Amino acid sequence: MTRLRVLNCIRASGEASRTEIAAALRLSPATVTFVTSGLMLGDLIEEVTSQDTQDPVKRGRPRVALRLTRGKNNIAGIKIARNSISVIILDFGGTDVAQDEFPLVNSQMEPEELVTTLRDCVAATARVLPNGMDDLAGISIGLAGQIDAEACFVHWSSSLTHRNVDLGELLAAHLPCAAFIENDANLVAKAEHLFGEAQGLSNFLVVTVEHGVGLGIVLDGRLYRGERGCGAEFGHTKVVYHGAPCQCGQFGCLEAYVGNFAMTREAEKLLAGNKEPSVTDLVEMAASGNSCAQAALDRAGQMFGMGLANLINLFDPERIILSGAQHRIAHLHSDKVLADVSENVVNVDAPLPDIRVHHWGDEMWARGAAALGIENVSELKVKDLGRDAS
């Protein structure tokens, strides 16, 4: 535990001297010296020496700080989207090593095909490393659906043809290093917390609007996943009893009215098979006066507003970040929707939580995956150090 606390302290500050670590964690200098030498032996941290030029008395004396080892323990982060796979490789200190994006022909695959496709994408991106994939310490994968991250088990994902897949077993068979999976909305929450609009916040929510609707919950600074790892299925909360069919196989789910797949279904009805419809088509039809298209957008806005009010009533978050392309989700945070939200939030004499739109490309989702991978690999490596020492 102390090793992990020291490692996390160094990660959080970028660089820290032994004295600063001892003060921040209230540890004795002897303990910090002992723990950091173990971490250095394990190649997890390294010393950096810099001249302190700020202090005229100390000028000339080198300052020795510790940071996460650069150029080693590389981690690949992956985001599986509907039409593409994004891969980013970071070193243990979080510095960019490589990134790439690959088109995806089949948006739904057999589990083994998905894993071999992932392996090929990672191998291609890792070509810049001296030993390719063998230089990776971990691979962290984000995909949509009900994911048990701890058990590396997929209850259901729109990317897979099968339900209840023990992805951990397949990943271990096809990949050369430790692999982790995570619900993709949790990756956005992670990325927002580390690099984005939720820096410094402890209680916030991220709602992703893509093909489906996802939710990342951060409470007291930690991701909340639920007991079975599928505790944030906002998209599959029911908004109409026995309502529209959802891609999960059930009926009346929020995303069956709000997700991109629901919007393209509406556009398809109106375009009567003239072309491949998109959400943008629906938005454009509404803008040019098509009342049916407008009604579909309005209904999505109403359902979404009701959902947001319920989230605020349940979690009382500091901030809700909506993640989705601005031109595709303008109808989900219109003045009308926000007025609906405030009407349906429990009545207290305090302002509504801040609701804002922040959209990142798939690369940032992959970066969130890599950041989680760094944390997971840290825990594994620190456990290994403990085993070696005992």
Stretch that binds Zn ion, among 214-222, 231-239, 268-276, 341-349 (CB under 5 A): 231-239
Site for Zn ion in 246-265 (CB under 5 A): 246, 248, 250, 253
Q: Which is nearer to Zn ion, 212 or 301 (CB)?
A: 212
Site for Zn ion in 47-106 (CB under 5 A): none
Using CB under 5 A as the binding criterion, the count of chain residues that bind Zn ion stands at 5
Stretch that binds Zn ion, among 107-115, 146-154, 160-168, 234-242 (CB under 5 A): 234-242
Question: Smallest gap, in angstroms, from Cβ of residue 323 to Zn ion?
Answer: 19
Question: Smallest gap, in angstroms, from Cβ of residue 204 to Zn ion?
Answer: 24
Question: Distance between CA atoms of 390 and 385, rounded to whole angstroms?
Answer: 9
- Does residue 136 touch Zn ion according to CB under 5 A? no
Residues 310-349 as x/- pattern, contact with Zn ion by CB under 5 A: ----------------------------------------
- Does residue 236 touch Zn ion according to CB under 5 A? yes
Q: Which is nearer to Zn ion, 45 or 160 (CB)?
A: 160
Question: Smallest gap, in angstroms, from Cβ of residue 253 to Zn ion?
Answer: 3
Question: Distance between CA atoms of 107 and 207, rounded to whole angstroms?
Answer: 22
Question: Smallest gap, in angstroms, from Cβ of residue 156 to Zn ion?
Answer: 9
Q: Which is nearer to Zn ion, 253 or 345 (CB)?
A: 253
Question: Smallest gap, in angstroms, from Cβ of residue 250 to Zn ion?
Answer: 5
- What's the gap between Cα 340 and its chain centre? 28
Q: Which is nearer to Zn ion, 266 or 375 (CB)?
A: 266
Stretch that binds Zn ion, among 13-21, 27-35, 239-247, 365-373 (CB under 5 A): 239-247
Q: Which is nearer to Zn ion, 94 or 231 (CB)?
A: 231
Question: Smallest gap, in angstroms, from Cβ of residue 215 to Zn ion?
Answer: 13
Question: Smallest gap, in angstroms, from Cβ of residue 161 to Zn ion?
Answer: 17
**Closest by CA position to 256, among listed 234, 229, 278, 285:** 234
Stretch that binds Zn ion, among 61-69, 161-169, 230-238, 336-344 (CB under 5 A): 230-238
- Does residue 211 touch Zn ion according to CB under 5 A? no
Question: Smallest gap, in angstroms, from Cβ of residue 248 to Zn ion?
Answer: 3
Q: Which is nearer to Zn ion, 18 or 236 (CB)?
A: 236
- Residues engaged in binding Zn ion (CB under 5 A): 236, 246, 248, 250, 253
